[in-house]
Amino acid sequence: MKTDVVLIGSGIMSSTLGVLLKQLQPSLSLRLFEVADEPAPEASSGWNNAGTGHAGLCELSYTPHLEDDGTVNVNKAISVFEDFEYSLQLWAHAARTGILREVRACLHPLPHLSLVHTAEQVPYLKARHEALQRHHFFQSMTFSTDRSEIEEWAPLLMEGRDEKQPVAATRMAGGTDVNFGGIAGQFCQWLGDQESVGVSFGTRVVDLEKRGSGWMVTTRHEKSGREETVEARFVFVGAGGGSLPLLQKAGLPEAKGYGGFPIGGQWMVTDHPELVARHSAKVYGQALGAAPTMAVPHLDTRMIDGKRYLLFGPFAAWTGKFLQRGGNHFDLLRSVRPDNLLPLLRVGFHNLDLVRYLLSQGWQSKESRMAELRKFYPAARADDWKVIDAGIRVQAIKQEPGEKPGIVHYGTEVLTSADRSISALLGASPGASVSAKVMLECVQRCFPDLLRSKEGKARLTAMIPHWQIDLKESSAREKFEGWHGAAVRDLQLG
Ligand SMILES: Cc1cc2nc3c(=O)[nH]c(=O)nc-3n(C[C@H](O)[C@H](O)[C@H](O)COP(=O)(O)OP(=O)(O)OC[C@H]3O[C@@H](n4cnc5c(N)ncnc54)[C@H](O)[C@@H]3O)c2cc1C
C-alpha cells in the first residue's frame, strides 16, 4: 500500500500536522496510526497535562529574576505569547470551518494569575508587571498587593493566609484552559472523514525502514497481531515518548547521540463542589530548589469531559517509562545505545540535584504535598484532595558541540532527516501550546512546495493570518488586535 504521508501517534502534534497538510493540499493521501484504541491517551490527554494555554501570562519561569538594574527581562514571555497565537488562530479557523465541532469540549476562558508571597518576590513581580505591561500583548495585565483584591480574584489564595505575609499577584483575564487531547480527538475525527485518509487505532508502528526516497512503515494490529506494510513518501514520528525508540529503529543518522530523560508527574485533585465553585483561575508561583521549570506546581481550575476540577501540581517524579499507559519501566534502559550512553551518564552525573529531587518528589508523603498546596491555598484540608498520576515528558538529551556536558534540553526539538523524508518531535516543553507553530515549521521545512504557490499561501493565511508577520513589533499592533479579537470571539473565549 502506498501513501503520501504517514503520521505516527494521534496526539496534538500528529493530528495538528495532519490538519495543516490536508487543508493545504486536500488531495494528499495520509495514514495515521495510533497504538491505543482511542485518540490521544498519552501526554495530550486532559488528565495528563496541565491544560495551560502557555502564553507567558502567568508562568514566572519565562521571566525568572530581577536584573541588577531592578528590571525583569520579559522577551521570552513575549515570544511565548506569539507562539501560542499560532495555535489560537489555527483552532479558530478549525472552529469556523467545522473541523473543531465542539469548541466548549476543549477550550475554556480562564484568568491566569501569578502569585508571590515573600518580601523578596514582591518587587520582582512588580518589576515584571511593569515590563510586560509596556508590550501590547500584556497591556490588560493587572498587578495588586491589596489582599482583598487578590481575594476577589481567587478567594482560596487568601483563606487562612498569615496576615503578616507580604503578597502580590498579577492577573490576565484572557487566559485559557485547554483540553489538548479533546482537540486532537476532534482533529483525528475530521481527518478520518476526509478523502484518501485512513485513521487506524489499536495499531502500533513497529518498524521503519528506508526505501528509495521514502519509508516502509510496518504496523501491527494490537488485537489480531496482523502486520501491514505501508510505503510512504514522508513520515512524521509524533509518538511522544515512543518517538526516540522508533527513531533508533529507523537508524536515522540525525538521531545518533540522542537520549531520552523521562520525567513523570503527579497531581493533587479535588472535585469538592464548594472548592471548585470558589476557584476560577490558573495560579502559578515561582520555582523551588532543583525543580525543573516545567514541574513548578500551580493551582488550576480544569474542565475535563464536561466536569470542573481543581488540580494542583505537577509534582515531578522519577520514572523509567517513556509513555504513561503504553510504557514499560525498562524504556529508559532499553533506549541506551553506545552513541547516547555518555550523554545520559553525564546528565545523571551533572544533574544529581535534579535526580535527587525527582526521587524525593515521587516518594513524598501526601502531607508534604499538602504543605506545597498550602503555599497557594493555606486552608486546604487533606481529606478533600487525592493524588493521581500525570503524564510523562521525555526530555531530549544530546551534547551539542561547544555545549557543557550534562545539559537536559527542556525545549521541543523537531528532528528532520537531510532528505526531509522523515521528521520527529522530541521533548515536551512548552509542548502542546506550541503545536501549531512547531508543526507549521515542519511543513515549511519538509513540504516547501505547498507554500510556494499563491493558492498555498492563501490557504495558510486563512488558517494562520499572521504567519508572515512578526506580531511582537509595535507596527503590527492593530493587525494583532483584529486577528486576536476574531479568534477569541470564534472560540467563545471572550
Ligand atoms: C505533567 C505534564 C504537564 C504538561 N502541561 C502542559 C501544559 O500545561 N501546556 C502545554 O502546552 N503542554 C503541557 N505539557 C506538554 C504536552 O502535554 C505535550 O507536549 C504534548 O501533549 C505532546 O503531544 P504529542 O502529540 O507529541 O504526544 P502524545 O500526546 O504523547 O501523543 C503520542 C501518541 O503516540 C502514540 N504512540 C506511541 N508509540 C506509538 C507507536 N509505536 N505506534 C503508534 N502510536 C504510538 C501514543 O499512544 C500517543 O497517543 C505537559 C506535559 C506533562 C507530562
Sorted by where each begins, the domain ranges of the chain are 260-407
Q: How much distance in Å is there from the Cα of 392 to the middle of ligand 1?
A: 8
Q: Which of 6, 86, 180, 434 to mutate to test the pocket of ligand 1 (most atoms within 8 A of CB)?
A: 180
* Closest residue CA from atom 21 of ligand 1: 44
Q: How much distance in Å is there from the Cα of 166 to the middle of ligand 1?
A: 38
pLDDT at residue 405, rounded to an integer: 62
**% of the chain beyond a pLDDT of 90:** 73
Ligand 1 nearest atom to the CA of residue 12, by list position:
25
The full 3-state SS of the chain, as one line of letters, equals CEEEEEEECCCHHHHHHHHHHHHHCCCCCEEEECCCCCCCCCCCCCCCCCCECCCCCCCHHHCCCECCCCCECCHHHHHHHHHHHHHHHHHHHHHHHCCCCCHHHCEEECCEEEEECCCCHHHHHHHHHHHHHCCHHHCCCEEECCHHHHHHHCHHHHCCCCCCCCCEEEEECCCEEECHHHHHHHHHHHHHCCCCEEEECCEEEEEEEEECCEEEEEEEECCCCCEEEEEEEEEEECCHHHHHHHHHHHCCHHHCCCEEEEEEEEEEEECCHHHHHCCCCEEECCCCCCCCHHHCCEEEEEEECCEEEEEEEEEEEECCCCCCCCCCCCHHHHCCCHHHHHHHHHHHHHCHHHHHHHHHHHHCCHHHHHHHHCCCCCCCCHHHCEEEECCCEEEEECCCCCCCCCCCECCCEEEECCCCCEEEEECCCCHHHHHHHHHHHHHHHHCHHHHCCHHHHHHHHHHCCCCCCCCCCHHHHHHHHHHHHHHHHHCCCC
Best-predicted range by mean pLDDT (256-265, 407-416, 472-481): 472-481
* Between residues 43 and 290, the one the model is more confident about: 43
Q: How much distance in Å is there from the Cα of 455 to the middle of ligand 1?
A: 32
pLDDT at residue 318, rounded to an integer: 81
pLDDT at residue 465, rounded to an integer: 98
284 in ligand 1 pocket by Cβ < 6 Å?
no
40 in ligand 1 pocket by Cβ < 6 Å?
yes
pTM of the model: 0.94
pLDDT at residue 69, rounded to an integer: 86
pLDDT band (50, 70, 90) for residue 295: low
> Over the stretch 172-229, which tens digit does the pLDDT of each residue have?
999 999 999 999 999 999 999 999 999 999 999 999 999 999 999 999 999 999 999 9
182 in ligand 1 pocket by Cβ < 6 Å?
no
pLDDT surpassing 80 at residue 466: yes
> Over the stretch 404-418, which tens digit does the pLDDT of each residue have?
666 666 667 889 999
205 in ligand 1 pocket by Cβ < 6 Å?
yes
Residue 489: CB atoms within 10 A of its CB come to 11
Q: Give the phi and the psi of residue 109 in degrees, each rounded to 5.
A: -70, 140
Q: How much distance in Å is there from the Cα of 146 to the middle of ligand 1?
A: 39
CA-only gyration radius of the chain, Å: 22
Task: Give dist(CA 402, CA 294) in Å, integer.
Answer: 25
pLDDT at residue 98, rounded to an integer: 97
Q: How much distance in Å is there from the Cα of 395 to the middle of ligand 1?
A: 12
- Look at the alpha carbons of 442, 260, 320, 353 in this order and tell me if their dihedral is positive or negative: negative
180 in ligand 1 pocket by Cβ < 6 Å?
yes
pLDDT at residue 2, rounded to an integer: 96
pLDDT band (50, 70, 90) for residue 366: confident
pLDDT at residue 275, rounded to an integer: 97
pLDDT band (50, 70, 90) for residue 299: very high
